[in-house]
Amino acid sequence: MKYKNYIITMGALSLFLSCATNPFTGKKTMAFVPNSQLFPTSFAQYDEFLNEHKVVKGTKDADLVNRVGQKIAAAADRWLDANGYQGYLKDYKWEYKLVDDKTVNAWCMPGGKIVVYTGILPIAKDEAGLAAIMGHEVSHALANHGQQRMSAGMVQQLGAVAGNVVIKDPATLSIFNQAYGVGSELGGMLPFSRSHETEADEIGLYLMAIAGYEPMEAANLWRRMSAQSGGQAPPQFLSTHPANETRIKNIEAHAAQAKEEARKFGVTSFKK
């Protein structure tokens, strides 16, 4: 029993001492691994990835990815400065690379390291569509989603360790491990991941609007994504991402608010 109490106490103390408030969401978030440790590792992994893949350089598409990424990040900087968070991005090292790969994807690493695959460009269709993608990816970095996922994984592991310390009967322990693995994934990690995707969608709308892009183009992007996938997707509760229909409805519900926020920065026209 003393081991159980010790684990619970240490877990609760870790959660209390390792939380940070994110300015973009206003939420307390887990931050077991500080950015001072996380970012250098992320930057090194990003460089390693680029060395092992074909980076597209000097083309119209590569220049567009870089230009749109810079505009989105500049919009984030403007918003932060206006809301009393000067210097929040001082440790971020923004980089936007186009990689020759047919995969329909883009991703972001902690600290602002972003990759866009050439395979997603036809779905982006135009500059505003690319801005929706870049806004989403930049938002993952701004909301420290990588840090949160790592922290959540540590909590998940702590729960498994606690169960294995407390439960002595081998048969009961086997049942616990199977149930905990499925339950913590379906009831914890997957919903956590989907919430991050929703946050990145919403923050991205504000950033692309402040950068001068029509936020409703993000909904059009996801309509094209849905058409491209042919409706082939796992049920939402089994996925790391919300269903396309859910994302479209959420974007439509927040687009007008994003434009209102952009007007505070003198943005009155939005590129489609």
Q: Report the catalytic residues.
A: 137
In this structure, the strands spanning 55-56 and 106-109 are unpaired
CA dihedral 97, 103, 105, 111 (to 10 degrees): -40
Separation between Cα atoms, residue 196 and residue 31, nearest integer Å = 15
**147: Cβ–Cβ under 8 A, 6 or more apart, which residues?**
29, 30, 31, 33, 35, 38, 110
Residue 268 burial (CB count, 10 A): 9
Residue labelled with tokens 């491209």: 228
Look at residue 269 and give its three-state secondary structure.
coil
Classify the phi-psi angles of 225: left when phi > 0, otherwise alpha if psi is within -120 to 50, otherwise beta. alpha
Classify the phi-psi angles of 213: left when phi > 0, otherwise alpha if psi is within -120 to 50, otherwise beta. beta
| Rg over CA atoms, the chain | 20
CA dihedral 102, 104, 108, 109 (to 10 degrees): -60
129 alpha-carbon distance from chain centroid: 18
